[in-house]
Amino acid sequence: MEAMRVTYRMHVAPPEAEQRAEAIALEQTVEVPRVVVRDAFIEDEVMGRVERVEGDPAGGSLATIDYPVAATALDPCQLVNVIFGNSSLHDDVECVDVEFPASILAALRGPRFGLEGLRKELGVLGRPLTCTAVKPMGQSPKELADLFRTFARAGIDVIKDDHGLAEHPFCPFDERVRACLAAADQVADETGHRALYAPNLNGTPETIFRQLRFAEDAGARAVLVSPMLVGLPVFWELCQRRASIPVLAHPAFAGAQRIAPEVVFGRLFRLFGADAVIYVNFGSRFSYSRETCRTIADRLLEPMGGVLPSLPVPAGGILVEGVTEVLDFYGRDAMLLVGGNLQVEADALFERSRAFVEAVRGYA
């Protein structure tokens, strides 16, 4: 029987831990007391099985549970349900790791372009990449396109919408996309550098699938989506069934999960199809440690069956002045996202953007 292996940290003492792990194995599959399971097929092919329970040096206990692949129905929604559906309702249980067997990798498929596909699209092979965002929310399409033009002239590789840009009456999606793509064309004509624009898809499925089609038809070469805001199953359908261009994943609403960031960003987003994964960097206004960031980046890049690597995109308060430290940490296979910090001096937007680009391009 092929199994998906999930590890939970349980904030209970070892004496109770065995029993608690058994309870999780039931909760996540059959969701009935053990005595109710009277069928050999269900016992063997559906019910979770506790593989190991051990004390965690960090406190509490770690339980490793094998779930038969059949329980997941190889469906993106049911997969998340089996990993952490009802157990998310237990205050003292966290999901800290997941290992996917080959059948799940083959069914969910992961990135269509990934790190290498994005590099090819950008024509940038041997160095780290640069990224910023047009914002703040509240600006008109014209104002955002003006910002875009400045960032593009400075040579930034990828310019995305802020993840908060939605279908606002003061900045409708279609107008914004047209204006920013026109700005990209204009700068390409002037300088030869064509920045890749990733508009943000935000709304219900009806809305975002329409936005995707509009963006593709208008010539966009990537889009941005927040998987936890739109829903992981929507994200999967978007990547695997709808989009013909790369998809960048944004972390909004994702940190609220009592699933480790290493699992959400390092495993789930990649498996579901993100070609690039934005996550909050160490030393930022967010609280991720260096170790967490290292693990996320490693997991996005490491071999995973036939699944392509995703591009790691550290973000969240990186300063232009701090770029070299971040590059030292990640090396070449990363795209640095510097947002608001490029805009802190109203008159020095181009200069700060250019300094960011040069710091990255000049990185040995």
- Pick the stretch among 99-107, 110-118, 124-132, 133-141 that binds its own copies (CB under 8 A): 133-141
**Is 308 one of the binding residues for its own copies (CB under 8 A)?**
no
- Pick the stretch among 82-90, 115-123, 124-132, 326-334 that binds its own copies (CB under 8 A): 82-90
- Pick the stretch among 51-59, 103-111, 153-161, 196-204 that binds its own copies (CB under 8 A): 196-204
Residue 314 to residue 70: CA distance in whole angstroms: 35
Pick the closer one to its own copies by CB: 77 or 355: 77
Q: Which of 3, 212, 224, 252 binds its own copies (CB under 8 A)?
A: 252
Interface with its own copies: number of residues (CB under 8 A) = 86
**Is 295 one of the binding residues for its own copies (CB under 8 A)?**
no
What residues from 338 to 357 belong to the interface with its own copies (CB under 8 A)? 339-341, 343-344, 346
**Is 226 one of the binding residues for its own copies (CB under 8 A)?**
yes
Pick the closer one to its own copies by CB: 241 or 364: 241
**Is 204 one of the binding residues for its own copies (CB under 8 A)?**
yes
- Pick the stretch among 112-120, 137-145, 187-195, 298-306 that binds its own copies (CB under 8 A): 137-145
Q: Which of 8, 100, 236, 269 binds its own copies (CB under 8 A)?
A: 236
What residues from 20 to 79 belong to the interface with its own copies (CB under 8 A)? 23, 27-33, 35-39, 41-42, 45-47, 70-71, 73, 75-78
Taking CB under 8 A as the rule, which mask of x and - marks residues 160-179 in contact with its own copies?
A: --xxx-xxxxx---------
Q: Which of 254, 304, 311, 326 binds its own copies (CB under 8 A)?
A: 254
Evaluated on CA atoms 114, 116, 120, 126, the torsion sign reads positive
Q: Which of 60, 141, 155, 251 binds its own copies (CB under 8 A)?
A: 251
Residue 175 to residue 177: CA distance in whole angstroms: 5
**Is 256 one of the binding residues for its own copies (CB under 8 A)?**
yes
What residues from 90 to 119 belong to the interface with its own copies (CB under 8 A)? 90-92
Q: Which two tokens stand for residue 28?
A: 């996540």
Pick the closer one to its own copies by CB: 102 or 344: 344
- Pick the stretch among 49-57, 96-104, 182-190, 231-239 that binds its own copies (CB under 8 A): 231-239
Residue 309 to residue 257: CA distance in whole angstroms: 24
